[in-house]
Amino acid sequence: MNVKSVSTESKVLGLSFSSCVMNASGALCTSFEELRSLDESYAGAIVSKSCSQMEREGNPKPRYFHNQDLSLNSMGLPNNGYSYYILSSQKLNRKPFIMSVAALDKIITYQILEVILQESTVSMVELNVSCPNLCHSNQVLGNHFEDLDNYFSVMSPLFQKYKMIGKPYGVKLPPYWEGYQFDVVSKLIQKYQFDFVTTLNSVPNCLVIDTETESPVIIPKNGIGGLGGKFVKPVTLSNIYQLRCRLPDVVIIGCGGIETGEDVFHHLLAGASLVQVGTELMKRGPSVFAKIESELKDIMIRKGYHHIGEFIGKMKLNVVNPMTY
């Protein structure tokens, strides 16, 4: 076997991804120049920064930090407004373009999703119900299941139109910690017939302190922000696996703690069909995709795998227990 006989491509959701690895929303995907660099990279798709109706500046800087273990951010949804990302998709369109839309005001989000429905250059929509950093809100929508049900029920007529024309729609979830949360959110995913879930957004309400300055490393919200990077990978793997067990027919996009091809291998074993890279992309820039791709292929060659489908969701359990978690 050699590198030419292994493929990391993925055909899911009626789309063809040249690689199963793409950027996470928020990482180097706010300006058109950044989106173009992703288009020119080895990434298998492009995800936009989560967008709102109008352009937003976001929170005061410094609002992003990383070190070798983690990242912390409280960006506050800085973005150029949804029309900018539609226009960007029209100018790129070499690979699947996923528009991330922030779930803010219901009526406005409905209107945004209605416009996107008509746009053939937007391949699919990722509805972000898990932003941890909005200064006016101390709630993450994805953690409040009645509100979430309500929110989805307003979008439901539109979801049906997405289904009718075959444009996939999915939801980006926060981390969950308890079995009942996975049960409830999985029922909602099924009720509203989401095609995919992205798990997970940054871990909310974290704090990192600098030893020298004795201060938080970011400014907004007294230093409280969303955690990403290597530290969150075990949380992500568990969330992928627990959703995989409950949602056998829903595509899972893994997001959290990917630095290497080996990390991608673990996400896929847990049940993700596609993955997203955030913190490591911020650290290394878009060349990270070629590196991760080559590391994943090395593992596949060593193990005799030709296609990622041969090991997606195939984590080998030591002892098979009934699902009581």
Active site residues: 131
Decide whether 228 or 286 has the Cβ nearer to ligand RRO.
Answer: 228
Pick one of 8, 23, 48, 50: the residue that binds ligand RRO (CB under 6 A).
50
Q: Which is nearer to ligand RRO, 64 or 182 (CB)?
A: 64
Q: Does 181 bind ligand RRO (CB under 6 A)?
A: no
Nearer to ligand RRO among residue 35 and residue 312 (C-beta):
35
**Does residue number 202 form part of the binding site for ligand RRO (CB under 6 A)?**
yes
Q: According to DSSP H, which parts of the chain are helical?
A: 32-40, 82-91, 106-117, 145-165, 179-191, 233-246, 261-270, 279-284, 288-303
Nearer residue to ligand RRO within complex by CB, 20 or 127? 127
**Residue 67 beta carbon to ligand RRO: minimum distance, rounded to whole angstroms:** 16
Minimum CB separation of residue 119 from ligand RRO in Å reads 21
Nearer to ligand RRO, 76 or 257 (CB): 76
74: helix, coil or strand? coil
SS3 (DSSP) at 207: coil
Among 80, 109, 133, 276, binds ligand RRO (CB under 6 A): 133
* Residue from 19, 26, 29, 140 binding ligand RRO (CB under 6 A): 26
Number of residues lying near ligand RRO (CB under 6 A): 16
The CA distance from 70 to 72, in Å, is 7
CB count within 10 Å of CB 243 equals: 24
Written as one string, the DSSP assignment of 133-201 is --TT----GGG-HHHHHHHHHHHHHHHHHHHHHT--EEEEEPP--SHHHHHHHHHHHHHTT-SEEEE--
201 in contact with ligand RRO (CB under 6 A): yes
Shortest distance, position 174 Cβ to ligand RRO, whole Å: 9
Residue labelled with tokens 């300055």? 213
Per-residue binder mask for ligand RRO (CB under 6 A), 55-84, x = binder: ------------------xxxxx-------
Which residues in 214-233 contact ligand RRO (CB under 6 A)?
226
- Least separation, in Å, of the C-beta of 50 and ligand RRO? 4
- Are 275 and 267 in contact by the 8 Å Cβ rule? The answer is yes
170 binds ligand RRO (CB under 6 A): no
> Tokens 């997606």 correspond to what residue?
312
Give the three-state DSSP class for 15.
strand
Residue 128 binds to ligand RRO (criterion: CB under 6 A): yes
If we measure between CA atoms, which residue out of 299, 209, 225, 293 comes closest to residue 258? 293
Q: Rg of the Cα trace of the chain?
A: 19
Binding to ligand RRO by residue 131, rule CB under 6 A? Answer: yes
Instruction: Please identify, using beta-carbon distances, which residue of 173 and 300 lies nearer to ligand RRO.
Output: 173
Residue 290 burial (C-beta neighbours within 10 Å; 0-12, 13-18, 19+): middle
> With binding defined as CB under 6 A, does residue 256 bind ligand RRO?
no
Q: Are 44 and 122 in contact (CB under 8 A)?
A: no
Asked whether 293 and 42 are in contact (CB, 8 A), the reply is: yes
CB of 63 to ligand RRO, least distance (A): 7
Which residues ranging from 102 to 121 are in contact with ligand RRO (CB under 6 A)?
Answer: 102
Residue 115 or 135 with smaller CB distance to ligand RRO: 135
The binding site for ligand RRO (CB under 6 A) comprises 26, 50, 73-77, 102, 128, 130-133, 201-202, 226
